[in-house]
Chains A and B, each alone.
Chain A
Amino acid sequence: MDITSDTHSQHISNQFNQELEELKTHLMAMGGLVEKQVQDAIAALLDSDSRLAERVTDNDRAVNDMQLKIDEECTRVLARRQPAASDLRLVLAVIRATSDLERIGDEASKIARNALSLAESGLTARGFVEVRHISEHVRKMVRDALTAFARFDTELALKVVQEDDAVDSEYSTAMRSLVTFMMEDPRSITSILSVMWILRALERIGDHADNLAEYVIYLVKGLDIRHSDVESLDDETLKRKG
């Protein structure tokens, strides 16, 4: 059966309702911080803002701390409540989601470190157009995946999953043109390599957003669509299977 975002507040035990509610709230707070980290890392790159880039790398510790805290809360719920059905799926989805959010945070730090080295070298690199384009795309994916999580919205989650293919193909195109730039102008290799690392980080962020969206579908429908053929999935299929 499908569940809704208020399903987890209907237990006979109010304490249990509260514990599950807190898991969701803390996950959303972590998601908000991670989203901001990605946004700041890209801004630091495009505006050559070293101070902002440093702030992003410093904030990564806060992301890690949040992951540890939420995982500990999940462990406590598992040990004390032995949740079943949708409650169990919520706890599993949150544990998995914190791991992907933490990695998005790591990718944001990577972008910030590369932005810092580019800013310090004073080089203007090629490929910023591609970075701007893909970053907008993956930031939207992260935002939508988190919104889907908050609202238990499988339709939106499915859109995120389907977006990931578009990001992957944009990434391949951008990489090909950067390789061409490097062949044309070998002096630009160092700076272009930094941009390539950044594009790679953005592509990975897209993958993690895709994972987050898959957890929403698992949580709501009880369907594990990891390793499924995305093309064959549409909302009707999910409705039938759920």
Chain B
Amino acid sequence: MSVTLSPRGASAEITDFDAAASCFAIDGLSLAYDGRPALRDLTLAIPRHAVTAFIGPSGCGKSTLLRALNRLHDLDDTVGRAGRIRLEGQDIHAPDVDVAELRRRVGMVFQTPNPFPMSIYDNVAFGLRLQGIKRKRTLDEVIEWALVSAALWDEVKDQLHTSAWRLSGGQQQRLVIARTLAVQPEVLLLDEPASALDPISTLKIEELIRSLKSRLTLVLVTHNMQQAARVSDYTAFLHDGELVEYGATDSLFTNPRLARTENYITGRMS
């Protein structure tokens, strides 16, 4: 699948054309917790059907930015926001936007796998049942499709009705991804999805991320720079709430434009 738009850096403006050609168009986004700024005037476009990684030191704002993309900050009264985020051209903060529907379209996977205390089958069926889908045949079909898509089907097809907690950490994380995929999202946000996993499970998750991009847009936050280099098409480097450099992963990891990026990715003192 081709990428329709190359990413824009902090200085560029997002035109309506860019917004139409990209999955997310973020325009002058600032965010503060209790008046303390966490994101400062970020402007960037996230291309469709590609993996975009946010990297940067702890506290740089990368997880804050990720959470802003499906309005997870709505749950926190202390968060103040300025600027605009458009998903497929539509402002996600517009009054007529249904937040539950937004979060269906923009799924999220967290650092620690969080399967619900129920069977593997019921975990994946959860979102579908919330949508009112009760027909067993439909559920069976979608659940198999989601588990196959999450590369977990072969490992669990004979134990669909056992507790999800019996699965290993890596399997639980893929189950969570299957649960998110079951409701047919357009975007998958991944916040350090493999940091609690062993190297083999990590590779399986990375392989899964790559295989999903033909169907979805993926946005990944990671502390592991090699991981960003391995799986992402575009990388954004954030520091102190600012977008420092944003570009194709291939060039950012071999020849970054700015000294601050170079210092961070090569482990130098800045």
Contacts and interface: CB of A to CB of B under 8 A. Distances in A.
A87 B257 CA distance: 15
A85 B253 contact: yes
A86 interface: yes
Contact of A84 (B229, B257, B258, B269): B229
Interface in B201-217: none
A11 interface: yes
Given A1-B262, A86-B262, A12 B267 contact: yes
Contacts of A89: 254-255
Contact of B253 (A10, A12, A84): A84
A16 B266 CA distance: 10
Nearest to A3: B262
A222 B266 contact: no
A88 interface: yes
Nearest to A10: B268
Nearest to A92: B254
Contacts of B229: 84
Interface in A191-242: 222
Given A82-B226, A84-B229, A84-B253, A1 B268 contact: no
A13 interface: yes
Nearest to A2: B259
A1 B259 contact: yes
Nearest to B265: A84
Given A84-B229, A84-B254, A85-B253, A12 B269 contact: yes
A222 B255 contact: yes
Interface string B81-112: 00000000000000000000000000000000
Contacts of B68: none
B10 interface: no
A10 B262 CA distance: 11
A1 B266 contact: no
B37 interface: no
Given A82-B226, A84-B225, A84-B229, A11 B255 contact: no
B254 A88 contact: yes
Contacts of A3: 262
A85 B258 contact: no
A83 B225 CA distance: 11
B80 interface: no
Contacts of B127: none
B240 to A, nearest CB: 18
- Prevailing SS type, chain A contact patch: loop
Nearest to A242: B255
The number of chain B residues touching the other chain, given as a range, is: 10 to 19
Given A1-B258, A85-B256, A222-B255, A11 B225 contact: no
Contacts of A13: 267
A85 B259 contact: no
A3 B268 CA distance: 13
Nearest to B256: A85
Given A82-B226, A84-B225, A84-B229, A11 B266 contact: yes
B268 A12 contact: yes
Most buried by A among B229, B257, B265, B266: B266
Given A82-B226, A84-B229, A10 B258 contact: no
A87 B263 CA distance: 10
Contacts of A85: 253-256, 261-262, 265-266
A83 B254 contact: no
A94 to B, nearest CB: 16
Contact of B257 (A1, A10, A16, A86): A1
Interface in B20-67: none
Given A3-B262, A11-B266, A82-B226, 13 more contacts: A1-B255, A1-B256, A10-B269, A11-B267, A13-B267, A84-B229, A84-B265, A84-B266, A85-B255, A85-B261, A86-B262, A89-B255, A222-B254
Interface of A: 1, 3, 10-13, 16, 82-89, 222
20 contacts: A1-B256, A1-B259, A1-B262, A3-B262, A10-B269, A11-B268, A12-B267, A12-B269, A83-B266, A84-B225, A84-B253, A84-B265, A85-B253, A85-B254, A85-B255, A85-B261, A85-B266, A86-B266, A88-B254, A89-B255
